[in-house]
């Protein structure tokens, strides 16, 4: 997996205002059907991991994992981020290919 490619694509999606980060907001977007893809960091707490993956499963939203919260935060120009949701189908498709 080419780390720089998914990070720059996520950065692009962020600038296009197509992503949301933070556990509560992500869950809200998954529930509303707007989230097309959820990206979860492997170092998320067990509790967060379960909450997000269960919610995504019940709403059929794919989840991709990335190494750590620092990569995820850095990609969107923020501090460490544990979870982000992608709201655009095009970005979601490409990101899931890169993160597969």
Q: Which residues contact 61 (CB under 8 A, 6 or more apart)?
A: 30, 35, 36, 37, 38, 55, 85
Name the domain count of the chain.
1
**Which CATH number is 17's domain given?**
3.30.1330.30
Across 59-95, b (16+ Cβ under 10 Å) vs e yields eebbbbebeebebbbbbbeeeebbbbbbbbeebbebb
| Residue 2 confidence (pLDDT) | 67
| Residue 100 confidence (pLDDT) | 83
Q: For residue 61, what are the domain limits?
A: 3-99
| Residue 55 confidence (pLDDT) | 98
Residues of the chain with pLDDT under 70: 1-2
| Residue 65 confidence (pLDDT) | 97
Q: How far is CA 4 from the centre of its chain?
A: 16
Which of 31, 50, 32, 78 is CA-nearest to residue 40? Answer: 50
């Amino acid at each position: 997996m080419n780390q720089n490619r998914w990070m720059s694509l996520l950065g692009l999606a962020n600038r296009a205002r197509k992503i949301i980060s933070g556990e509560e907001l992500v869950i809200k977007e998954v529930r509303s059907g707007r989230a097309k893809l959820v990206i979860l960091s492997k170092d998320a707490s067990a509790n967060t991991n379960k909450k997000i993956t269960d919610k995504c499963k019940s709403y059929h939203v794919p989840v991709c994992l990335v190494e750590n919260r620092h990569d995820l935060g850095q990609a969107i120009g923020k501090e460490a981020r544990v979870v982000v949701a992608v709201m655009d189908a095009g970005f979601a498709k490409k990101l899931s290919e890169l993160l597969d």
